[in-house]
Amino acid sequence: MMTITLQVQGMTCGHCKAAVTNALQTLDGVSRVEVHLQEGTVDVDYDETKVSVEKLKEAIEEQGYNVK
């Protein structure tokens, strides 16, 4: 299991938090998602044999947010 913290721009409210959380949790291999609106970060625990960092970023970007 790996943990990564992604910088995400554009998250401002509970809807943003829910959208990012739901998008990531639908990916096979993601076990935990924690969104920090104030910091603009998302902590993700994932199985690197099932999902790549690129897939994590794509899932967030598909919700309309920018990942640094």
Residues 24-51 have pLDDT tens digits of 999 999 999 999 999 999 999 999 999 9
State the first-to-last Cα distance of the chain, in angstroms, to the nearest integer: 22
Average pLDDT of the residues of the chain: 97
Helix H or strand E segment including 34: strand 30-36
- What is the structure's pLDDT at 63? 97
- What is the structure's pLDDT at 31? 98
How much is the average pLDDT of 6-34? 97
Domains of the chain by start residue, with CATH: 2-67 (3.30.70.100)
2-25 burial string, b = 16+ CB within 10 Å, else e? eeeebebeebeeeebbebbbebbe
